[in-house]
Amino acid sequence: MKALAELLKGIRPEFDFSASRDFIADGMLDSFDMVTLVSTLDKTYGISIEGTDILPENFSSLETIAALLRKYHVAL
Amino acid sequence: MVAIESVSEVAEAVVRAKAGGLSYCSNVFTDPRKLQCWIERGEFFREEAGGAALFLRRDRDFWHLYFCAGSPTQLRDAVCAAPRLKTEPVVVDLVGREDALDCLVEAFREAGFKGYQRLFRMARIDQAGALTAVPSDPRVVVAGPMDCQSIEEVLLQSFDRRAEQIPLLYEIEAAVRSGQIWVARAEGALAGLLYFETHGLTSTLRYWLVAADFRGQRFGSELMRRYFEASNAVRRFLLWVVADNHDAISKYEHYGFLPDGLVDIVLANEIIRP
């Protein structure tokens, strides 16, 4: 989970993701950031997140992102 | 063309399009609350063809095209097959990293669209901290209901309605109710305005202008100062600017905004003349 937090920090260094329960509602990630995050996750973990999974609810917290990665057999 | 009746109808069309190909592409980045508003007002329609879903949102005298498709080829075929896109004035915004948009631009060009305008996004990142208190100019105030009509008029006079997403009157009224527009008043006229949208820690500066007759009187800097002062919880400020508006770009740079790599390529169909 720490690696995931670091990865988010790399995309939006100005935000403290550990202080948020909902990155979308708190204005920390927008639709364009999600596209960047998907690309970063794909490269970092050697996966290909499908378009049908690019939904705000899958990127709203560290837990939901981790759950999405588990679906692609990524062990965190 | 069918009027859309619910946000879930849009979501279902997106899922179908995503399942239809391996190179999913879309410009549907709209906040669901905004979509709901368009639907309730009967402004939002859809057409589906092959593996693509096309959505049209009615603006004043033209349409905005939104799309999602399984691939750029499916998108091109759907755009070519949609009769409304041949007879009505339509613009489409392609938003993303410039190099990632090439195939979409090509798909639309093959379907008869041409370049209309190019914008890019600028960002300013703030650190937490107290602002220095400065005496306020009493001529700069939060806009009230009586300002809405003037705000719409000055926006339409000052910006390109096809490329810069000028809000409709009801959207301006909602922004005023939310305290998201500051105005400068002088000599009984609207001398300037600053229109923003704040969402949590991120705020988008949508429009900032001073009318020609009132320039050089520090209204612009006062509007910006008041905006930053009122946004002290915000950490990321964003804005979109027309790429060849060098005067505006230099002013934004003065306030610490820098390009963040996102572009908006606006294309128009043949009904619209530049």
ipTM for the complex shown: 0.85
Q: Is A33 domain-assigned?
A: yes
- pLDDT tens sequence across A19-72: 899 999 999 998 888 888 988 999 999 998 876 787 889 999 999 999 999 999
| Residue B29 to residue A25, Cβ atoms within 8 A | no
pLDDT tens per residue across all 274 residues of chain B: 899 999 888 888 877 887 777 788 889 877 778 899 999 999 999 987 777 999 999 999 999 999 999 899 999 999 999 988 999 999 999 999 899 899 999 999 999 999 999 999 999 998 765 566 677 899 999 999 999 999 999 999 999 999 999 999 999 999 999 999 999 999 999 999 999 999 999 999 999 999 999 999 999 999 999 999 999 999 999 999 999 999 999 999 999 999 999 999 999 999 998 7
Q: Is A44 domain-assigned?
A: yes
Q: Is A46 domain-assigned?
A: yes
Q: Is A21 domain-assigned?
A: yes
Chain A CA closest to residue B199: A27
Burial of B213 (0-12, 13-18, 19+ CB in 10 A): exposed
Measured between beta carbons, the chain A residues lying within 8 angstroms of B96 are 32, 35
Expressed as residue numbers, the domain containing A55 is: 2-71
Q: Is A26 domain-assigned?
A: yes
Task: Measure CB to CB from residue A52 to each of B18, B126, B202 and give the nearest one.
Answer: B18
> What pTM value is reported for the model?
0.92
The pLDDT score that the predictor gives to residue B227 is 96
Q: What is the CATH number of the domain that holds A50?
A: 1.10.1200.10
- Report whether B94 contacts B101 (CB < 8 A): yes
Task: Measure CB to CB from residue A31 to each of B29, B198, B200 and give the nearest one.
Answer: B29
Q: Is A66 domain-assigned?
A: yes
The pLDDT score that the predictor gives to residue B129 is 59
The pLDDT score that the predictor gives to residue B130 is 56
| Residue B18 to residue A26, Cβ atoms within 8 A | no
CB atoms within 10 A of CB B82: 22
Number of domains in chain A: 1
Q: Is A76 domain-assigned?
A: no
